Amino acid sequence: MVDVEKEYPQYDVIAVGAHPDDVEIACGGTLAKLSDLGYSVAIIDLTDGEPTPHSPGPDIRLAEAMAAAKVLGVQKRITLDLPNRRLFDSFEARVLLAKEFRKHRPKVVLGFGDRTPMASPDHWQAMQITDAAVFYSRLTKWDEYFDGLPVHTVSRHLYYKIAFEPINKLDAAGSFVHDITDTLERKIESVRCYQTQFPPAKDYIYDRVRGAAIYLGATAGYGAGELFYTTRAVATPDMMQLLFPSEKS
């Protein structure tokens, strides 16, 4: 059995995207905020996002992705060898991602929570792959598929939505808005790192990302926010601490 505690660093939170830039657009402010609070954060991109119309190749896209991760304070970025534009929920893809969860032992996984009509179908496939990998990560009596990696149970799995998409409610157990007032500009800066994806003709994208964050923040009384959906109901042993977290001494 692999000694993962010696071989691989553990991360409190791992955010999973289909392509480099998905996570930044969806929840980059949250990753920056968590990093500032001292939590260890990683990103897993299922594909390298190539080919795309304006990118000269994978090396440039990878450099953009690493620059964006640095802006957000993300400690680790992993790119899996799955095909862009041909990403499908398969047994092999599920196992590949579950291996990363077993290695890095996240407490929380963030991933796609919905289809993105008129955008890449890879996003929906990524959601299904992530759902399955969270489950596969904890399954016993399946060692032959996991290279001797011990099982790991992900404690919480949350869904995000891409900021460009209509803000319609998901059919989920619960939801909450995470305050990113202090990290909104870093979120925007991380998206700007993807110059091959958002050339000057697409500068309107930044206004859309900022506008979505300001709107979502306003719904919860914050300057800016990101919305997450929970796979289980939101619960607390202390209602007052939930309602007034800043007043707890």
Q: How many CB atoms lie within 10 A of CB 1?
A: 7
Q: What angle do the packed helices 58-72 and 22-36 form, to 10 degrees?
A: 30
Q: Say whether pLDDT at 216 is over 90.
A: yes
216: left (phi over 0), alpha (psi -120 to 50) or beta: alpha
Average pLDDT over residues 192-200: 96
Higher pLDDT, 1 or 26: 26
Residues 158-178 have pLDDT tens digits of 999 998 777 778 889 999 999
Query: Is 50 exceeded by the pLDDT of residue 140?
Result: yes
pLDDT at 249: 46
pLDDT band at 136 (very low <50, low <70, confident <90, very high): very high
Q: What is the pLDDT of residue 248?
A: 55
The predicted model gives 100-105 an average pLDDT of 98
| Domains delineated in the chain | 8-234 (3.40.50.10320)
pLDDT digits (tens, 9 = 90+) for 49-76: 999 998 999 999 999 999 999 999 999 9
Q: What was the pLDDT predicted at 5?
A: 93
Pick from 231, 246, 58: nearest CA to 157: 231
CA 36 to the chain's CA centroid:
17
